[in-house]
Chains A and B, each alone.
Chain A
Amino acid sequence: GQSLEQPSEVTAVEGAIVQINCTYQTSGFYGLSWYQQHDGGAPTFLSYNALDGLEETGRFSSFLSRSDSYGYLLLQELQMKDSASYFCAVQFGNEKLTFGTGTRLTIIP
């Protein structure tokens, strides 16, 4: 089957850098995406990696390595508003979009 595993919880200090990992056991997908969800809210898109390597979007960067079945989201200059849940997701050619288990990020002062 298709599974994307993430750490359930991560805690980091305001102003610091944090990495959220996503390991997967699936193949044949187009790309890896990352979404942010605040409590009670809707997930919102952060980034997309179609190719191996690093994609940078402001304070957020995302990385994909298909050979290692691994990706990560890197958040820099952490702010209190970054406290949220983060999900990786893979998109398949038949439009199926599968999400990971999710990581709850807590930022402390």
Chain B
Amino acid sequence: DGGITQSPKYLFRKEGQNVTLSCEQNLNHDAMYWYRQDPGQGLRLIYYSQIVNDFQKGDIAEGYSVSREKKESFPLTVTSAQKNPTAFYLCASRRRSEDTEAFFGQGTRLTVV
């Protein structure tokens, strides 16, 4: 079955450590996205990628980094520069077209202690 997979579901890290969240899709989608969601809040765009080896900053990119070396994979690194990293992180992908829907992974809940 095609889909988008995020791992792990729960992640705990100590303050000051970098951590990488995995996102893999087998939908053959070109566009991929990372969003952050805080309790009771909307989805805020961190980074997005239209195609392999290319990505753009979203609205809250500071303290985060990404790579897009393969079409299927779009990992997100939360660096120690991110001042408030504890949040729910959602990865999404979609086909490049005007009217296509985004498919989301089940999310990674990151807690920094």
Contact = CB atoms under 8 A, between A and B. Distances in A.
Interface of A: 1-2, 6, 8, 30-31, 33, 35, 40-45, 48, 50, 87, 89, 91, 94-102, 104
23 contacts: A2-B59, A8-B40, A30-B98, A33-B101, A33-B102, A42-B105, A43-B102, A43-B104, A50-B99, A87-B42, A95-B30, A96-B48, A97-B33, A97-B92, A97-B102, A99-B35, A99-B42, A99-B43, A99-B45, A100-B42, A101-B42, A102-B41, A104-B40
A11 B105 CA distance: 28
Contacts of A30: 98-99
Interface string B22-44: 00000000110101000011111
A98 B45 contact: yes
Interface in B54-73: 56, 58-59
A44 B50 CA distance: 21
Contacts of A8: 40
Q: Of A48, A96, A101, which is in contact with the most chain B CB atoms at under 10 Å from its CB?
A: A96
A40 B98 CA distance: 28
A43 B90 contact: yes
A40 B39 CA distance: 10
Contacts of B106: 41-42
Interface size class of B (residues with CB under 8 A): 20 to 34
Contact of A44 (B41, B59, B104): B104
B73 to A, nearest CB: 17
B43 A96 contact: no
A87 B45 CA distance: 14
A44 B107 CA distance: 13
B56 to A, nearest CB: 7
A40 to B, nearest CB: 8
Given A48-B99, A99-B42, 18 more contacts: A42-B104, A42-B106, A42-B107, A43-B43, A43-B92, A43-B104, A45-B103, A95-B30, A95-B31, A97-B33, A97-B45, A97-B102, A98-B45, A98-B59, A99-B44, A99-B45, A102-B42, A104-B40
